[in-house]
Structure 1
């Protein structure tokens, strides 16, 4: 390995140390309570060194969110070839809850941190570069694609078919509730018996699906005979 390659590898390693320390501090103490100096102290670097990699705290937070959402979307994409949209939604919700259990700091940062305008400020070119609206790179777009296919196949309740965003966010809220409990509960909860993220997630999702899907679709799902349908929404950018 040449000198240039070693330098690049060292820079990448330093950048990763900064990101890992920032993620842990933001998730534990909250974004507002953490300064660039605290992040530098955590990895025994000078604050000046961090500014070589990130222009400010918001820039650092934006990069963390991008990387962590990308990691989640990669995990979710393993279900992209599941033909039936309801089954795909079911698997996506299970994956969301599992991601929270396996990566609690990532989850807290992504979904339980109050965002500020500077954290999410992007122009159209940057949003496009980061994959907004592309189901293969944007987890929300992937969920929207599943919902739009379910609507196109007549599986969603008629009174909700005009609003796929509402359906997607109802489904998201159900999975998010279980995932949030998973990452915030005590390990040995003294006040109640925790039913477990897997069992509770499945029961919650089925209850939510029964609320938004037509009875016929749920009957077929419950009986395990929901057919593998032809996908009716093309791959690519989701309609919003």
Structure 2
């Protein structure tokens, strides 16, 4: 009986190690692909290039992902999911809706500048993914923004009641400054000052007086 129990524990240990090893390889593939997509552009990167970067045979990549598009989709899904979680946590706060919206916009920009490769791949290169195959987490991110805007409207804090118009305008604003901070070598003022000023201008443009 004791021997059987030990054997069972050993088998579970081996299975867990194999699962961890597979997960580690999968993450290596995603990290390598993300870096290459940013550096060379999605269209110029091949499965072979990804494999060479992590010193695996190309066939190994296909054990984890069907093709390059599947890798891009997975990168985007994970990035959108992380951002959606942060935005949802802000919406869950029952305090002043307008303050929550302001924090949400600030969080969005900070997420991008803290994770530049993730952001560029998910928000710039994701256009390579067909519309009907876009990660659902991306839509959840935007739904969180819509929810924040709707709460402000219901609280009588905005000068416009078109949720979609305001949400898209706000996203255009924060996406613009995020992309510039990540990709542009312009001598911007101190980063936090710039982000705060952009968010302030966006909020003041829609706040009811």
TM-score computed with the length of structure 2 as normaliser: 0.86
Instruction: Please list every run of 5 or more consecutive structure 2 residues that lacks an aligned counterpart in the other structure.
Output: 1-11
2:114 aligned with 1:102, yes or no? yes
Structure (1 or 2) with the larger CA radius of gyration:
2
> Against the structure 1 CA distance between its residues 101 and 24, is the aligned structure 2 distance closer, same or farther, given a 3 Å change threshold?
same
Whole-angstrom CA distance in 1 between matches of 2:52 and 2:131 = 23
Residue deviations 1:186-235 (CA, integer Å, cap 9, x gap): 2xx5xxx42122111111122122222212xxxxxxxxxxxxxxxxxxxx
RMSD of Structure 2 on Structure 1 (CA): 2.0
1:88 Cα offset (Å): 1.1
> Against the structure 1 CA distance between its residues 153 and 165, is the aligned structure 2 distance closer, same or farther, given a 3 Å change threshold?
same
Q: Which residue of 1 aligns with 2:199?
A: 205
Find runs of 4+ consecutive structure 1 residues off by over 6 angstroms.
none
Q: Which residue of 2 aligns with 1:148?
A: 150
2:198 aligned with 1:196, yes or no? no
Contact 2:46 2:68 in 1 (8 A): yes
TM-score computed with the length of structure 1 as normaliser: 0.75
Residue deviations 1:26-47 (CA, integer Å, cap 9, x gap): 1121111111111111101111
Q: Which residue of 2 aligns with 1:89?
A: 101
- Paired positions, count: 197
Instruction: Please list every run of 5 or more consecutive structure 1 residues that lacks an aligned counterpart in the other structure.
Output: 216-240
Whole-angstrom CA distance in 2 between matches of 1:114 and 1:60 = 11
Greater helix content: 2
Whole-angstrom CA distance in 1 between matches of 2:111 and 2:101 = 15
* Equivalences for residues 132-171 of structure 1 within 5 A: 138-157=140-159, 160-161=160-161, 163-171=162-170
